[in-house]
Amino acid sequence: VNHLLGIKNLTREDIELIFETATNFKEVINRPMKKVPSLRDITIANLFFENSTRTKLSFELAEKRLSADIINFSSASSSVKKGETLIDTVNNILSMKVDMVVMRHPNPGAHYFLSQHIDASIINAGDGTHEHPTQALLDAFSMREKLGDLQGKKVVIVGDIMHSRVALSNILCLQKLGAEVMVCGPTTLIPKYIESLGVKVEHNLKKALIWCDVANILRIQLERQDIAYFPSLREYTMMYGVTMEILNSLKKEIIIMHPGPINRGVEISSEVADSKQSIILQQVENGVAIRMAVLYLLAGKIERNS
């Protein structure tokens, strides 16, 4: 059975194939007839053990565009609340003849664990602070639309690197495509291991923005922090909030990205989020085509239920 557990397991060729397939699907979903029959007879369960807006709706739409049958599960309204385990929950769902599982889970490695115990294709829609592979793919795809080949391009990821699954998946994906990656933020939000990945570290926002072609801005993940937070949100905004004032001082135009959800006025000002430099909504648009590509390519490798 084939899975997408993380970017770690993909080659550059795999990523290029996903992009090529997504480019074709992007053409399809811009046509008046947006649906193709590619996943007819495939049943997909969307299992969300953690909140989501973009990823959940984007996968659901991608599956519908491919004509798959889908069922949606949200842990908040499920029997998980009565003590059912992850494996029992998923095996019960699979016994209804489900072929693929799209899952978001708060525990890093939950997808890998599940892949050892179940007989269905698994796509990681985010596992705690670990990986969010389809976000990284849609981010790199969006950058490539703007900049062409990413070889030698410079990307800075600004913000809460410590608690971000988007950061790790982006770093791995961008490096596989030949880009240079820097992270920028306070020392308290940058993990010590990051330099061992070949990533540059910069604590001064302006220096980081002068260096880069693209700034991917992350929110502070307060929900994942169980210690007294430093710096405070107010201090963070003063030191790392991306504003028009700082962008205008760069004397060059960089591309602004954010995976969402945005905290306007904290890590990014409203003016920047809505500026012509921002491709935040193009990222969301591309998310559907990228997820169609991932579903299509994985479904091609699984045996269909008749």
Q: C-beta of 283: minimal distance to ligand CP in Å? A: 8
Nearer residue to ligand CP within complex by CB, 53 or 232: 53
| 46 scored as a contact of ligand CP (CB under 6 A) | no
Which of 23, 24, 52, 282 binds ligand CP (CB under 6 A)? It is 52
Instruction: Confirm or reject binding of residue 30 to ligand CP (CB under 6 A).
Output: no
Q: Is 261 in the site for ligand CP (CB under 6 A)?
A: yes
Please check if 282 is assigned to a binding site: no
Q: Find the part of the chain contacting ligand CP (CB under 6 A) among 64-72, 180-188, 232-240, 253-261.
A: 253-261
Question: What minimum distance in Å lies between the beta carbon of 199 and ligand CP?
Answer: 21
> Given the complex with ligand CP, which of 134 and 269 has the nearer CB atom?
134
Is 53 a binding residue for ligand CP by CB under 6 A? The answer is yes
Annotated ligand binding at 12? The verdict is no
If 0-12 CB within 10 Å is exposed, 13-18 middle and 19+ buried, where does residue 24 land? middle
Q: Which residue has the tokens 């880069």?
A: 212
Handedness of CA 158, 159, 160, 166 (dihedral sign): negative
Q: Which stretch binds ligand CP (CB under 6 A): 170-178, 181-189, 231-239, 255-263?
A: 255-263
Provide, rounded to whole angstroms, the least separation between the CB of residue 101 and ligand CP. 17
Q: Cβ of residue 132: shortest distance to ligand CP, in angstroms?
A: 6
Residue 134 interacts with ligand CP (CB under 6 A)? no
Annotated binding-site members for carbamoyl phosphate: 54-55, 104, 132, 135, 260-261
